Chains A and B, each alone.
Chain A
Amino acid sequence: GQQVMQIPQYQHVQEGEDFTTYCNSSTTLSNIQWYKQRPGGHPVFLIQLVKSGEVKKQKRLTFQFGEAKKNSSLHITATQTTDVGTYFCAGPVGTYKYIFGTGTRLKVLA
Chain B
Amino acid sequence: NAGVTQTPKFQVLKTGQSMTLQCAQDMNHNSMYWYRQDPGMGLRLIYYSASEGTTDKGEVPNGYNVSRLNKREFSLRLESAAPSQTSVYFCASTGTGKGETQYFGPGTRLLVL
A48 touches B90 (CB 8 A): no
Residues of B within 8 A of A35 (CB): 102
Would you give the shortest CB distance from B44 to chain A, in whole angstroms? 8
Q: How far is the CA of A100 from the CA of B46 in the complex (A)?
A: 12
Q: Is the CB of A95 within 8 A of B50?
A: yes
Do residues B41 and A96 form an inter-chain contact, with CB atoms below 8 A? no
Partner-contacting stretch, out of B18-26, B63-71, B78-86, B93-101: B93-101
- Report Cα–Cα, A95/B42, bound state, in Å: 21
A97's contact among B42, B45, B90, B106, by CB below 8 Å, is which?
B45
What residue of chain B has the Cβ atom nearest to residue A2's Cβ?
B59
Is the pair B104, A96 in contact by a Cβ cutoff of 8 Å? no
Identity of the chain A residue whose Cβ is nearest the Cβ of B54 in the assembled complex: A96
Interface residues as binary, A35-52 with B (CB distance below 8 Å gives 1, 0 otherwise) = 100000111110010000
Point out the residues of chain A lying under 8 angstroms from B107, CB to CB.
Answer: 42
Contact with A along B27-64 (1 / 0, CB 8 A): 00001010100001111110010100000101100000
CB closest residue in chain A, given B109: A40
A45 touches B40 (CB 8 A): no
Would you call A102 an interface residue if the criterion is a C-beta within 8 Å of the partner chain's C-beta atoms?
A: yes
Question: In the complex, which residues 77-91 of chain A have their Cβ closer than 8 Å to any Cβ of chain B?
Answer: 88, 90
Tell me the count of chain A residues lying within 8 A, CB to CB, of chain B: 24
Q: Assess whether A9 is in contact with B98, with CB atoms less than 8 Å apart.
A: no
A43 with B104: CB separation less than 8 A: yes
Q: Given A95-B50, A97-B58, does the pair A45, B101 have CB atoms closer than 8 Å? A: yes
A99 to B35, CA, bound (A): 10
In the bound complex, what is the Cα–Cα distance between A41 and B97 (angstroms)? 23
- Chain B CB within 8 A of A62 CB: no
Write out the residue numbers on chain B whose beta carbons fall within 8 Å of the beta carbon of A101. 42
Q: Which of B43, B59, B97 contacts A96 (CB 8 A)?
A: B97
Chain B residues in the interface with A (C-beta under 8 A): 31, 33, 35, 40-45, 48, 50, 56, 58-59, 90, 97-99, 101-107
Q: Please name 9 pairs of A and B residues whose Cβ atoms are closer than 8 Å in the assembled complex, sorted by A.
A: A41-B106, A42-B105, A95-B97, A96-B48, A96-B50, A96-B56, A96-B97, A101-B42, A102-B42
